[in-house]
Amino acid sequence: MAIPKPARLSRLTTRPVMRILSLGLLLSCAATLACSRPGSPQVTAEGRSTAAGRRYTVFHPDGLRVQVVTSRPSPQNSSYQLSVAAAYTDLDTDQPLDLLVCNGRPLQPAAKVGFLDGVLTIIGDSLTIGRIDKGQTPPAAELARVRSRRGTLLLQELLVFEGRNQRPAGGSAFQRRALVELAGHRLAVVESQADELTMQQFAADLIELGARHALYLDMGDWDEGWYRNGGEVVRLGHRRTETARQSNWLVFAQAR
């Protein structure tokens, strides 16, 4: 923060000083109105149901920039419109697990776990959800490309790829959340309202809701997120017991 210089004494009368102060207040109010003008991109939340009656909330972040951050996004930052956990967290270190490159900064040289088969790559305004063999690390050339472009690359569980379910039957049942690519390359974050969903059922429902590609987002006890609904910040997630240990977030924000 710049330290203001001492005010220089002048021979201004009270009336010109008041005019200057009034102009400053008008400029400040105009800037505030510009930042909150109705045309600014915001998240819209839509309720959807499957044919079987399972209910979901679909968050549409149209016109917002997306990034992964490793510092907790503050709801006090009015540019942030949606924040959810992204990659898993390493239980031994409380650091992001298989977040290999974050905004150009390498965090891990190679994948640590053997069951992640989805790749999220963000470079500028381009976001892709890809597939990788389980237990593998993206090629060194790809990691170098992401680093040089100041991009982000993380591994997660792949739910849907090219409109097909990627998850086997069985497994635990939780509330579920995913980053989804819909037709026309539109992005959405989809969250189940129920707690008792396997990954396979979740993926099948996402396909019914129009998913072309879908990548899982960390949930269970790490499920806390939030979105901005006008002037209200709405918390997401049902458990929220490990919020303090969350290590990375997928955020959607208004352009600066």
Q: What's residue 187's pLDDT?
A: 97
Entry pTM: 0.85
| Dihedral angle of Cα 67, 194, 235, 228, to the nearest 10 degrees | 60
What residue ranges do the domains of the chain occupy? 41-97+158-253
Report the C-alpha gap between 202 and 14 in whole angstroms.
Answer: 68
Task: Tell me if 256 sits within 8 A of 89, measured CB to CB.
Answer: no
The token pair that represents 75 in the structure block: 């709801």
pLDDT score, position 218: 98
Contacts of 197 (CB under 8 A, 6+ apart): 54, 173, 174, 175, 176, 205
Going residue by residue through the chain (256 aa), what tens digit of pLDDT does each one get? 322 323 222 222 333 333 323 334 333 333 333 344 456 899 999 999 999 999 999 999 999 999 999 999 999 999 999 999 999 999 999 999 999 999 999 999 999 999 999 999 999 999 999 999 999 999 999 999 999 999 999 999 999 999 999 999 999 999 999 999 999 999 999 999 999 999 999 999 999 999 999 999 999 999 999 999 988 999 999 999 999 999 999 999 998 7
Please choose, from the candidates 240, 235, 191, the residue with its C-alpha nearest in 3D space to the C-alpha of residue 216. Answer: 191
